[in-house]
Chain A
Amino acid sequence: MPEDGIVFDLQRFSLHDGPGIRTVIFFKGCPLCCQWCQNPEGLEPRPEISFSKEKCLGCQECQKVCPVRAIVFEGTKRIDRQVCDRCGKCVEVCYAEALRIVGKSYTPAELLEEAMTDMPFFVSSGGGITLSGGEPTCQADFLTSFLPLCKEKELHIALETCGCFVYEELEPLLSCVDLILYDIKAIDPVLHQKLTGRSNKTILENLGKLLKKDECAVQVRVPLIPTLTATDENLKAILVFLKEHNITEVSLLPYHKMGESKLEGIDSPLRPLNLARMSEQDLMNISALFRNAGIKALTY
């Protein structure tokens, strides 16, 4: 039996993760831990339980069914994460959806069915599916059985990756992938370690290898996090790196804090950054920086 995939969300009608109208599949688990992570519920590989205090009715049904007594009614907290064994019984009885399971198992065939639902829209718009996360390559075994099925159905496949993977594991899958959206966050390994918890050695090497093969298109993306990645120094280093690799186009992803509200409901090592939004002017200046160096900068 092939391994199940653990997916924590499917987002239809996504327009900014590859061409056309797309369904983005969010795979659980990520080797990095970026301070600004937009999907912090995707970091941890296993399914977990999230809690939203706004939705809680206080009916205490969860407490009645919890076999390990992990439900606590103190302040904004509801789950004692030390005790909880993630059995999900509390979620079943929480009709208000204050408690939810983040991460659902799919067989390749099941996920294919979900991926295919918007096929008519993919066809009319030149869209397809985008594997995202988390970090989809963390589930390379699952992808090995899933992606060939997608290819059979002629789905256009984009892969969003942080680049932190074992190249040899991914290589056999490249023939199934049409486009790779590849994040570059920082060039200085020390800075990268500080921002993401990991060095960028493998990441930069992997990008180099991918660029040498022309099996699939690679689009580099740079998250612009004020004071962290969007510093003059880091951006210039990225610029030089891109030039060295003959990369002529880059997508800029400005910071937003919509993911930070999710932190409260899960057991996460991250804390909200609460940075100010990047101004239009700053964004234009950064675009100009790239443009002047002969690199087309796309913004959303």
Chain B
Amino acid sequence: MTEPSVAPERTIASFPRLSRLHDALLGAKKEVCIQRARYLTDYMKGAGVWFEPPVVRRARAITHILRNLEVTIYPDEVLVGGITSKRIGAIIYPEFIGLLIWPELGNLREREVDALQISDEEIKELDQEIFPFWLDKVLAWHVQEFLSPPEPLSLLFKGGFFALTEAAGISHTAPDFEKLIEVGLEGIKEEAGEKIRELDQDPAGDAEKLRGRSFCRAVEIVCDGVIGFAQRYHEEALRLAEKETDPQRKSELLEIAQICARVPAKPANSFREALQSIWFLEIALHQENYEQALCLGRADQYLYPYYRRDLQKGLLTEEEAIELLGCLFIKMSEFVPLFSVNLALLFSGFPANPAVTLGGMMPEGLDATNRLSYLFLETRELIKTRHPNLHARVHKDSPGEYFERVCEVVKGGGGMPALMNDDVIIPALMKKGIKEEDARDYVVIGCVEISVPRKTFGSTDAALMSLPICLEMALNNGYSPVLQEEIGPKTGDPRAFRNMDHVLDAFRQQVAYLVEQMVIGLNSMGIAHRELYPSPLLSALTQGCLDKGQDVTAGGAVYNFTGVQGVGVADVADSLAAIDQLVFREKRVTMGELLKALEDNFEGHEQLLHLIRNRVPKYGNDDELPDMYARKAAEIFCQEVARHSNPRNGVYLPGFLSMTNHKGLGKFVAALPSGRKALETLANGVSPHDGWDKKGPTACLKSVAKLDYSQATNGVAVNLKFAPDYLKGAHGTKTLSSLIKAYFGLGGMHLQLNFIDEQTLLDAQQDPGKYPGLMVRVAGYSAYFADLAKEVQDEIIARTEHCSL
């Protein structure tokens, strides 16, 4: 319906500084920064390091990096601090998986997927000085040599079973930035010092407590390291101010210098100081922990008092707040992950996903939406940067205005914010033993994962595991047709299965086996993180650690979890539905005939393929048969995961998101009874198979809402794609918000939306230069379309587009 479109009050034209900074960001090439690797190596080469407790060694190594990392203030910036030495840089973590790039260094600039710039000198330094040192010090190899039984790692290296991302690091958390801006790093250092004094006066000499002394020392050291880093920015700003001829910029630089002299050492005195303090910590945390999902948490909540105070005092306007938030968004987008070619397909589009969570419920149960929630949304509307990954929490009492504003912003394109349903998530977290006020305070980590901020070390994306390969092994007595190898347990000749219970039982045994192997691998890695590369800075900003005198990697946090994802729920569901209907109920084919067709990849079995594709209902169409099996498949994975514990005294949490692993894992699965052909992609998250949900978004969302999310507390990803014309104007926004409200009322947990038509995507694929800022929702994250691997682009184009006339 044609209605006057509500013109946004502010456009990017009202923010010339942001506009220029955003252009500079879009115009910058992505480069590798070797500085972290260089200075880490530098420090670790020192003979003395091997006599330091690991946690102290780590603190000093990080301090050494922060003392040397190049300091740059770019034109127009008011928020400063480079996370790397490049405008857009990729950080190398040689102690984790940085060495995977070694054989590909020469090709990095030209490679097809996620190309990155690097100079010949930098390649030479990596090749000769840096990487050789780390050969025997990489975490995964230490795990292989000393900690893990061989099987989990052999499954990992085969590629088709699971990705164990803890090999690359843990990160995936929302640190206590609230405390940081409240007490400053000096306050935290003081707390660590207090803890040491307490220990020193303990007449009992308790061994457990004594063990915490080195940890507290490490916290002191690393806090000083970060304070020193900010000090270098203070000096740089002064230096630039001195030679600056433009009086306005000169005064800006002097103000920057002043702020960097205060934070993060001292408590933040203003909204701007709070942002600067947090950004310095983000930089420092990224030197210690790999670049995935070091999240800002509920920034609209903890920043609000600073915002309100400044506004009341007349020190800040809404426009200035938006400009500062925009500056933060841009700083957060100045880094990309460094993936090897193989990994770049699994995690396509340079995702790093530092997330910000907006709105939702306060710990006391009241609605938390505030003016800043709206300003974050508006900033997002103005500049569509890669980061932060923006998530909007909603609950049944969320203000209608907020709900509609969220829908309006997501309609603007780029897939952000994603929506999270408090009414499902909070009770689910409480079932996992999280206190109610903490559950109400949850944040989104990275893509879609769920965690209690400030108090949790949750390793929310520790692994992604293929479920269809479990079904395939159940149908092949443990054999993997693509790998041509016996892998799983012998669950019996499927031709002898008499009913669905037999099929499900075999599937469960295969899942149980793979989950076990995954857990053994992960637990070994968890131990290695603790022993080799602890995280004293992250621990300083995680509640519980200073109390217990323990690093996060040792279980110091209040809450400890490991989150793992199941991939390909829809593929398993559709396959089980086909077996149930065709083999057991209608007896149209025998199991033997079906298996033969799978073996032949349906070639010469076109009739059967069409029977399966057109006469067996598919998940995503609000049909009970496949939906019931989706629920079942998800439940089996959840139950098998929930049996296990991690080395940090926490339990495993199941979730269903796939990044772009559904693509990569699909390459190891032959034809499935669902009618999916060999090696094709699997379904993403808990979304239906691309193009197989044919009854529109209500049917699709009803199917999705049937899963039992009370068990999937690590989070799930659900994608929906609309033609942009479809939900036009204020009327369309209302329709979208009522669609989502009803879906959440039915028990849905998560939803992310793409508003982009096929023609634009096809055009952008042909001519990427025409669409430099075109952003799409991939899995639990958004990425620039041009940055995606061709196959992932194809998938996004293939997703069912909901539109009609």
Q: List residues of chain A with CB under 8 Å of any chain B CB.
A: 11-16, 20-21, 57, 59, 61, 95-97, 117-118, 120-121, 123-126, 256, 258, 298-300
Does residue B326 face the partner (Cβ distance < 8 Å to A)?
A: no
Q: B709 → chain A, closest Cβ, in Å?
A: 17
| Given contact pairs A97-B610, A298-B1, A258 touches B698 in the complex (Cβ within 8 A) | no
**Chain B, residue nearest A258 (CB):** B805
B residues less than 8 Å from A95 (CB atoms)? 607, 610-611, 614-615
Q: Is the CB of A13 within 8 A of B802?
A: yes
Q: B721 → chain A, closest Cβ, in Å?
A: 13
Q: How far is the CA of A7 from the CA of B702 in the complex (A)?
A: 23
A residues less than 8 Å from B622 (CB atoms)? 117
A residues less than 8 Å from B739 (CB atoms)? 13, 21, 121, 124-125
Q: Is the CB of B615 within 8 A of A21?
A: no
| Given contact pairs A21-B735, A258-B805, A124 touches B696 in the complex (Cβ within 8 A) | no
Q: Is the CB of B2 within 8 A of A298?
A: yes
- B591-622 CB contacts (< 8 Å) to partner A: 606-607, 610-611, 614-615, 622
Does residue B768 face the partner (Cβ distance < 8 Å to A)?
A: no
A residues less than 8 Å from B2 (CB atoms)? 298-300
- Identify A121's interface contact among B606, B614, B698, B726, CB under 8 A: B698
- Identify B702's interface contact among A14, A21, A57, A117, CB under 8 A: A117
A residues less than 8 Å from B607 (CB atoms)? 57, 59, 61, 95
Closest 5 pairs between A and B when the two form their complex, measured CB to CB: A125-B738, A95-B610, A13-B696, A124-B742, A124-B738
Q: Is the CB of B698 within 8 A of A21?
A: yes
As a 0/1 sequence over residues 730 to 742 of chain B, the CB contacts with chain A under 8 angstroms (1 = contact) are 0010110011011
Q: Is the CB of B614 within 8 A of A13?
A: no
A residues less than 8 Å from B606 (CB atoms)? 57, 59
Q: A22 → chain B, closest Cβ, in Å?
A: 10
A residues less than 8 Å from B698 (CB atoms)? 12-13, 21, 118, 121
- B170-204 CB contacts (< 8 Å) to partner A: none
Does residue B699 face the partner (Cβ distance < 8 Å to A)?
A: yes
**Chain A, residue nearest B744 (CB):** A124
The B interface, classified by DSSP as helix, strand, loop or mixed, is: helix
Q: How far is the CA of A57 from the CA of B745 in the complex (A)?
A: 43
**Chain A, residue nearest B622 (CB):** A117
Q: How far is the CA of A44 from the CA of B544 in the complex (A)?
A: 74
**Chain A, residue nearest B741 (CB):** A124
List 26 contacting pairs A-B, 8 Å CB cutoff, sorted by A: A11-B696, A12-B696, A12-B698, A13-B696, A13-B697, A13-B804, A15-B727, A15-B735, A16-B1, A21-B735, A21-B739, A59-B606, A59-B607, A118-B698, A118-B702, A120-B745, A121-B698, A121-B738, A124-B739, A124-B745, A125-B739, A256-B805, A258-B805, A298-B1, A300-B1, A300-B2
Q: How far is the CA of A59 from the CA of B608 in the complex (A)?
A: 12
B residues less than 8 Å from A124 (CB atoms)? 738-739, 741-742, 745
Q: How far is the CA of A15 from the CA of B734 in the complex (A)?
A: 11
Does residue B746 face the partner (Cβ distance < 8 Å to A)?
A: yes
| Given contact pairs A57-B610, A96-B610, A124-B741, A14 touches B1 in the complex (Cβ within 8 A) | no
**Chain A, residue nearest B1 (CB):** A298
Which of A11, A121, A258 counts the most chain B CB atoms within 10 A? A121
- Identify B804's interface contact among A14, A59, A120, A299, CB under 8 A: A14
Q: A65 → chain B, closest Cβ, in Å?
A: 13
Q: B502 → chain A, closest Cβ, in Å?
A: 27
Size of the B side of the interface (Cβ < 8 Å), in residues, is 29
A residues less than 8 Å from B643 (CB atoms)? none
Does residue B695 face the partner (Cβ distance < 8 Å to A)?
A: yes
Q: A282 → chain B, closest Cβ, in Å?
A: 15
A residues less than 8 Å from B696 (CB atoms)? 11-13
Q: Is the CB of B614 within 8 A of A97?
A: yes
B residues less than 8 Å from A14 (CB atoms)? 804
As a 0/1 sequence over residues 300 to 329 of chain B, the CB contacts with chain A under 8 angstroms (1 = contact) are 000000000000000000000000000000
Q: How far is the CA of A288 from the CA of B804 in the complex (A)?
A: 26
B residues less than 8 Å from A11 (CB atoms)? 696, 804
- B666-715 CB contacts (< 8 Å) to partner A: 695-699, 702
A residues less than 8 Å from B697 (CB atoms)? 13
B residues less than 8 Å from A120 (CB atoms)? 742, 745-746
Which of B607, B699, B742 counts the most chain A CB atoms within 10 A? B742
| Given contact pairs A12-B695, A298-B2, A21 touches B805 in the complex (Cβ within 8 A) | no
Q: How far is the CA of A186 from the CA of B129 in the complex (A)?
A: 84
Q: B4 → chain A, closest Cβ, in Å?
A: 13
Q: A2 → chain B, closest Cβ, in Å?
A: 27
Q: B327 → chain A, closest Cβ, in Å?
A: 38
Q: How far is the CA of A14 from the CA of B732 in the complex (A)?
A: 12
Q: A193 → chain B, closest Cβ, in Å?
A: 28
Q: Is the CB of B742 within 8 A of A125?
A: yes
Q: Is the CB of B702 within 8 A of A20?
A: no
- B474-519 CB contacts (< 8 Å) to partner A: none
Q: How far is the CA of A14 from the CA of B611 in the complex (A)?
A: 29
Q: How far is the CA of A95 from the CA of B616 in the complex (A)?
A: 10
Q: Is the CB of A96 within 8 A of B738?
A: no
B residues less than 8 Å from A299 (CB atoms)? 1-2
A residues less than 8 Å from B802 (CB atoms)? 13
